[in-house]
Structure 1
Amino acid sequence: MNNQKHIDLLVVGGGVNGAGIARDAAGRGLSVLLCEKEDLAEGTSSRSGKLVHGGLRYLEYYEFRLVREALIEREVLLNSASHIIWPMRFVLPHSPNDRPAWLVRLGLFLYDHLGGRKKLPGTRTLNLHRDPEGSALEDQYKLGFEYSDCWVDDARLVTLNAVSAAEKGAQICTRTEFVGAKRENGAWSVELKDVRTGAIRTVRAIALCNAAGPWVNKVVGTMKDTSSRRNVRLVKGSHIIVPKFWEGQQAYLVQNDDKRVIFINPYEGDKALIGTTDIPYEGKPETVSADESEIEYLLAAVNRYFKEKLQRTDVLETFSGVRALFDDGNGNPSAVTRDYEFDLDDEGGVPLLNVYGGKITTFRKLSEHALQKLAPYFPRLGQAWTRDEPLPGGEIENADFTRFIDRLRQRYPWMPRNLLLHYSRLYGARTPNLVGTAKNLKDLGKHFGNDLYAAEAKYLVEKEWAQTTADILYRRTKHGLHLSEAQKAAFGTWFEKTYAGSRSVETVNL
């Protein structure tokens, strides 16, 4: 990247909102640079509950606009990325001590009809003593409801948006810190630092978009003569991963004693993902972790409903994320709006757009609205386009993933079923790009355990900005959950030897 390079839009933050905005803007003809001080999705966007959903509980807070938009987006995203997003059925056992059954039925009726549901099946009532979905639950729960939402691989959603943005001309600069910016001669003069070398570079941009999530106000604080009129509310959400303890592919949504709802979802085949908490957070987002009290809270919520009682020793891993919510003045963290807000500062006709709040499900609409805010500064800006164009790998006819898998089996008869499913779920229609000319497993290179072969690591380094073992094992994939400590160490040794100092092609040639 040459000093004083002039671009149209500089986006700060490599989470789902930043990547979505960069993709949308590049597709409308703007020259775009996205900078991220760490890895794509290293913060909040890889630490979510991994759901594309309308937010059933938000109906209680009268967030009808947000829920409707999210429900509409649920089907848009399902069509655009059916390899990383797929339907999931949620069982909601009813307790007479909690919300009355009529209120739950009303909420589910609205949920089924508010967003014009087309693909997903509607709600059904369950007899938990008779229907198999109730077999794992305590006998005191007789009535239940089952409804639809969708699962998403959140970190891959971010990466695929970045890949799409790059293919449309955007520069994606990971491990590149936003140092500061000032308005100068009708544009922004921005300093960026390569965090690995310490080198400082300067870029000139017509507009800035600050999508730094929990760091949004920190970014504002680095700029001269600029301030934000918005406050951000940091809320910590923690999850635990345990071995899966029920039969079937259904997920569960249960209510804890404090009226909060907890998701219990099948995860990575043989595991369960349980969360989340909602706790005000004042620490550094970089150091967030699950407290023992949160782990106990989640275990207690599960044990209230299920016959099999989980112990602390069942917890395999935990993760926490910090959500940067727009501070609407509500004292209850669970009631703080998940809607998004924009703060536009265009002093001297040089715009800075700060993004507050939002949720994974609505990132695409948030991106469209961000471009609407910036449109007056770019008279030749193209039209909105992301609704009907699939994300990379999502170029699957009629979004029919089952038929797509069958075609891959015919193309790669030598590939084990689990490996084929792994590749197709992460890379979709671009699986052939990874497999290349391989005719057997040996052609995929060194095998590190489970479904991890050298060919995949090479692909992720060259095509998806992976630069560390954590980038590969925990964000681009979830291999880290399936490898032993010895296997992970062996992969780390090989990776450092093979890719020491490597930079992905798109980052080097800026």
Structure 2
Amino acid sequence: MSAQTVYDLLIIGGGINGTGIARDAAGRGLKVLLVEKDDLAHHTSSASTKLIHGGLRYLEYYEFRLVREALQERERLLKLAPHIIHPLKFVLPHRNAVRPAWMIRAGLFLYDHLACHPKLPNAQQIGLQKSPFGKPLRNDIKIGFTYSDCAVDDSRLVILNAKGARNKGADIRTQTTLLTAKRKEDVWEAVIQNNKTQAQSTIQAKAMVNAAGPWVAKILENLQVQSSMNVRLVKGSHIVVKKLFDGPQAYILQNADKRIVFAIPYHEEFTLIGTTDLSWDQSPDALPKIDHNETQYLCDSINNYFTKNITPQDVIWDYSGVRPLYDDAASNASAVTRDYHLDLNQNVGKTPLLSIFGGKITTYRRLAEHSMEQLAPFFQYSRGAWTASEALPGGYITNGDFKLFYNNFRKNVPFLDEMTSKRMAHAYGTDIFEVLNKATSKEELGTDFGHGLSQREVDYLIEKEWAITIEDILWRRTKLGLYFSQDEIQTLQKYLAEQLQ
């Protein structure tokens, strides 16, 4: 196992922070290797509420810097990835027993003004009994407020950052585990293992980034490195049910315990409901699953506001994730900061190790920039900060006008049905033509595995997007798992096994 390749940066973790840093670093001319023990976005980064938002509720905890940065990033990301990020209007039905109306008005005013020159409309108070937004709500809820944020396909945001990093020269390896790493003179010497073949290799890197999310502390322990920071693990669970209401709006519901729950339109036929906040005391290796109390809590939150009641039996799909938050010693899991903290450890001015604590999807790009600032003394970058203006893969849409892009796309591919066209245009943006690879008919796309998932698209996901399992394809790349039958899954599984031989 001789060391052959020297990288500038070895990144541990293929979530949103790891891939965001990889893209930024590779774009500055660094030789980057990212290793992820599972799939990209396999854990926390695919288990979010799927929002790019400032975080209205964080104002209650005086997190003004975080909210301001997040709102600024909301505007930037909307420009950089208009295919997977889109504006979303939120309706906040008001009940005085939770928070007084003046407090809501003040918070929304501040929220609007912390976002400098926002493209999204300002908040306003509305009468729910005369508004179509009030139609699905209980009659005793008279007033509400509207404000705007954005929805995102979280796991695809990770994939796009990984593709962007690869386009800049980064080496992205999934199903690859860091076994050991130690400082050796002026480099880190690391042993990594391919999970499939069990083959081990030794690589060297001038610096390491620990972006392992829930495993951040475990990596530090493995490397025998002390940190003054701690991680606080918090489980969040979501449920998906059949569509609860018509219209493109989402709802933000205030509960008596001062927590909020979102009800968000999801893939046209469904409503996404979440999230819970529970301290997670188990190992990060333990698979988080929703429990009955969480499911009931989310159902009760809906039933307190909507005329259409739901029960745990109505849940079509659920998912849970463990958030690796920076431990600020808050007594309540909901109150733990969502801000990020960076811990730089160095050995006599050399071989730096940067560990990431906390953060949220919305601020990942700024986190990556701040990480590069921390590492700047150790490298000569070929360029400065650049990610604020360069679109993510597929995001090269004229004036960010997705509707115009989609209409033109539909004219070019009349052989695709509406549902498939919409799904693929949102997922791939301007890269859609690379996926279709000049196909002029449905037949040229090969086998249809169901619901518009073609052989050609599956091949693309394997070759270009690191997909190797059914779960990678149906849940993290396409979300078609919501529709696939067991028979369709078995057919796709057989094809996948043949392709990966």
TM-score range relative to shorter protein: over 0.9
CA deviation string 1:347-387 (max 9, x = no partner): 13210000000000000000000000000000345200000
Q: Which residue of 2 aligns with 1:415?
A: 416
The ranges of structure 1 where at least 4 consecutive aligned residues each deviate by more than 3 angstroms after the TM superposition are 1-4
Counterpart of 2:360, as a letter, is K
Map of 1:50 onto structure 2: 50
Query: Secondary structure of the equivalent of 2:22?
Result: helix
Q: Which residue of 1 aligns with 2:59?
A: 59
What letter corresponds to residue 258 of structure 1 in structure 2? Answer: D
Structure 2 counterpart SS, 1:87: strand
Secondary structure at the counterpart of residue 430 of structure 2: helix
Which residue of structure 2 aligns with residue 350 of structure 1?
Answer: 351
1:181-330 residue pairs with structure 2 within 5 A? 181-224=181-224, 226-286=225-285, 287-330=287-330
Structure 2 residue aligned with 1:13: 13
Output the CA distance in 2 between the equivalents of 1:266 and 1:469.
25
Question: Is 1:11–1:22's contact at 8 Å kept on the other side of the alignment?
Answer: yes
Equivalent-residue separation in structure 1 for 2:82 and 2:31 (angstroms) = 29
Superposed, 1:36-47 pairs within 5 Å as 36-47=36-47
Corresponding residue of 1:504: none
Looking at structure 2, the residues matched to 495 and 207 of structure 1 have their Cα atoms a distance apart, in angstroms, of 37
Q: Which residue of 2 aligns with 1:116?
A: 116
Q: Does the 8 Å contact 2:468/2:496 carry over to 1? A: no
What's the CA shift string for 1:209-251, capped at 9, x where partnerless?
0000000011111114x21111110000000010011111110
Q: Which amino acid aligns with 1:435?
A: L
**1: CA distance between counterparts of 2:2 and 2:29?**
21
Q: Which residue does the alignment assign to 1:81? A: 81
Other-structure match for 1:486: 487
CA distance in 1 between counterparts of 2:381 and 2:279 reads: 43
Number of equivalenced pairs: 499
| Structure 1 residue 499 displacement after superposition | 2.5
Taking the TM superposition and a 5 Å limit, the aligned residue runs for 1:383-422 are 383-422=384-423
Per-residue CA deviation, residues 95-122 of structure 1 (Å, 9 max, x unaligned), is 0211000000010111111011431111
Describe the SS at the equivalent of 2:112: helix
- TM, length-normalised to structure 2: 0.98
- Cα distance in 2, alignment partners of residues 317 and 489 from structure 1: 19
* Partner SS for 2:385: coil
Contact 1:72–1:117 at 8 Å: present in 2 too? no
Letter in 2 for 1:466: A
TM-superposed CA distance for 1:2, in Å, is: 7.6
1:35 maps to what in 2? 35
**Offset at residue 150 of structure 1 (A):** 0.2
Alpha-carbon deviation of 1:284?
2.8
1:462 Cα deviation (Å)? 0.6
State whether residues 71 and 117 of structure 1, in contact with CA within 8 Å, keep that contact through their aligned partners in structure 2.
no
Worse-superposed segment, 124-133 or 70-79: 124-133
Measure, in 2, the Cα distance between the counterparts of 1:80 and 1:380: 23
Write the deviation string for residues 159-212 of structure 1: whole angstroms up to 9, x where unpaired.
000000001000001000011211102110011111111111111000000000
List runs of 5+ in structure 2 lacking aligned partners. Answer: none
Moved more, 375-384 or 322-331: 375-384
State the alpha-carbon separation in 2 of the partners of residues 41 and 164 from structure 1: 15
Say if 1:375 and 1:381, in contact at 8 Å, map to a contact too. Answer: no
Mapped partners of 1:380, 1:123: distance in 2? 42
- Residues 208, 352 of structure 1: 8 Å contact kept: yes
**1:332 matched residue in structure 2:** 332
Structure 2 contact 254–260 (Cα < 8 Å) conserved: yes
Q: TM-score, normalised by structure 1?
A: 0.96
Q: Secondary structure at the match of 1:458?
A: helix
Q: Is the 8 A contact 1:422 1:451 kept in 2?
A: no
Deviations 1:32-52 (A, max 9, x none): 000000000001000000000
Q: 1:95 to 1:480 in 2, by over 3 A?
A: same
Partner AA of 1:372 in structure 2: E
Q: What amino acid sits opposite 1:263 in the alignment?
A: F
Q: Give the superposition deviation at 1:407.
A: 1.2
**Mapping for residues 337-486 of structure 1, pairs under 5 Å:** 337-348=337-348, 349-486=350-487
Partner of 1:239, secondary structure, is strand
Question: Do 1:235 and 1:280's aligned partners in 2 also have CA atoms closer than 8 Å?
Answer: yes
Measure the CA separation in 1 of the matches of 2:370 and 2:381: 17
Letter in 2 for 1:221: E
SS of equivalent residue, structure 1 residue 452: coil
In structure 2, what is the Cα distance between the partners aligned to 1:251 and 1:380? 43
SS at 1:91's partner residue?
A: strand
> Quick one: which amino acid aligns to residue 217 of structure 1?
A
Letter in 2 for 1:26: A
Amino acid across the alignment from 1:185 = E
Q: Which amino acid aligns with 2:486?
A: E
Q: CA offset at residue 126 of structure 1? A: 1.5
Q: Distance in 1 between matches of 2:448 and 2:179?
A: 41
Structure 1 range deviating more: 262-271 or 278-287: 278-287
Give the structure 1 partner of residue 95 of structure 2: 95
CA distance in 1, matches of 2:370, 2:9: 15
Letter paired with 2:290:
A
Per the TM alignment, residue 55 of structure 1 is displaced from its structure 2 partner at its CA by 0.2
Per-residue deviation, 1:477: 1.1
Give identity over the alignment, percent.
49
Quote the Cα distance in structure 2 between the aligned partners of 1:8 and 1:434. 32
Distance 2:40 2:485 in 1: 25
SS in structure 2 opposite 1:346?
Answer: strand
What secondary structure does 2:409 align onto?
A: helix
Q: Which moved more, 1:454-463 or 1:491-500?
A: 491-500
Q: Deviations over 1:442-498 (max 9, x none)?
A: 111101111211111000001011111111011011011111222122211222123
Tell me, what secondary structure is at the counterpart of 2:116?
A: coil
- Distance in 2, Cα, partners of 1:491 & 1:186: 48
Contact 1:451–1:479 at 8 Å: present in 2 too? no
Q: Secondary structure at the match of 2:461?
A: helix
CA distance in 1: counterparts of 2:23 and 2:325, whole angstroms: 23
Matched residues in 2 for 1:254 and 1:480: separation?
Answer: 28
1:488 alignment partner, SS class? helix
Separation of aligned partners in 2, 1:216 and 1:4: 27
Amino acid corresponding to residue 461 of structure 2 in structure 1? L
1:126 aligns with 2:126: yes
Q: Distance in 2 between matches of 1:104 and 1:117?
A: 21
Deviation at 1:283, TM superposition (A): 1.4
Local SS of the residue matching 2:172: strand
Question: Matches of 1:114 and 1:129 in 2, distance apart?
Answer: 30
Distance (Å, rounded) in 2 between the aligned partners of 1:421 and 1:354 = 39
> Are 1:139 and 2:139 counterparts?
yes
CA drift of 1:4 comes to 3.4
AA in 2 matched with 1:42 = H
Distance 1:116 1:487 in 2: 48
Which ranges of structure 1 fall in alignment gaps of 5 or more residues?
501-510
